[in-house]
Amino acid sequence: MAETVKSVERAADILLLLHNNDKKLGVSEIANQLDLHKSTVHRILASFEVKGLVKKTDDEKYGIGLRIFAMGLKVSKEFSILEIIKPYTRRLMKEVGEVVNISMLEENFNGKYRTIMVAKEYSAESVLLANLHEGAFSDAHISAVGKCLLAFSKKVELTKISEDTLTKYTENSITTMSGLLKEIDEVRKIGYAVDNEEREMGLFCVAVPVFEADGDVSVAISISGPTVRMKNKDLQSKIDALIRIQFEINQVLKTLK
């Protein structure tokens, strides 16, 4: 194993902690969570702030800075698979009249997998109760895209998921490993996943995985909309449209071997 530099490791740990938190953190919170001295954390954050890697709020808390965001955008442009998928998701959005999202899986962090929305197609008519923006994170266990990625990604290690990270958002949320494993088995059987008001009441999503040339899955596509509009007589036609688009994309990606 290559020799590592402790100071760099500590700095990286701080950035990863800020990245994986939904809220801004203070120096004491960071120090406690990473078991570091407050003075060490303060020095690293001060250096990061000068470089634009973190941003300090008026109440002395820290979050990821615009420089990191810009770096992320540059990396995302290098994901050619997204450029292949986007024309198909745009067509799907026009066909079904709902929001269509492309999401990827974040690596396991402290026993928890999350998804990040990397692209979104929508029209003025497709109104969502929870209008997540590009770059937004969601817990994998309560999202349709997350369940697809947990079920089919070769990078996922289900045994590393900590049950206490299965947060309850609504009465429909999965909160046990037995429940999650049962759901994942079902997703593998039928080939798609649903979020039936598991993240937010009134919101329904259906998603499929995108299989790459090597058979792995790093991307999932979802259709999202208000439950009253999604769960009606047209739901099956929307699922069928999603599966057709999935098949077309998979056929194209097979040629990239």
Cβ atoms within 10 Å, residue 152: 22
Taking every pair of Cα atoms in the chain, the longest distance, rounded to a whole number of angstroms, is: 60
Q: Which two tokens stand for residue 12?
A: 């990286």
Of 215, 204, 156, residue with least CA distance to 184: 156
Q: Read out DSSP for 99-168?
A: EEEEEEEEPP-SS--EEEEEEEE--TT---SS-PPTT-EEEGGGSHHHHHHHHH-TT--GGG--GGG---
Element (H, E) at 207: strand 203-211
Backbone φ and ψ for 161, nearest 5 degrees, come out as -75, 130
CATH, domain range 6-69: 1.10.10.10
pLDDT number for residue 127 = 53
pLDDT < 50 stretches in the chain: 1-2, 77-78, 129-130
pLDDT number for residue 73 = 62
CA distance 136 to 115: 8
Of 124, 143, 99, residue with least CA distance to 242: 99
pLDDT number for residue 244 = 95
Of 14, 107, 81, residue with least CA distance to 254: 81
End-to-end CA distance of the chain: 31
**In sequence order, what are the beta bridge partners of 114?**
106, 139
pLDDT in tens, 145-160: 999 999 999 989 999 8
Cβ atoms within 10 Å, residue 251: 9
CATH of 79-254, one of 2.60.40.420, 3.30.450.40, 3.40.640.10, 3.30.70.1230: 3.30.450.40
Q: Which two tokens stand for residue 80?
A: 């050619």
Q: Look up the pTM and report it.
A: 0.70
pLDDT number for residue 78 = 46
pLDDT number for residue 121 = 87
Domain spans, the chain: 6-69, 79-254
pLDDT in tens, 122-144: 876 655 544 567 778 889 999 99
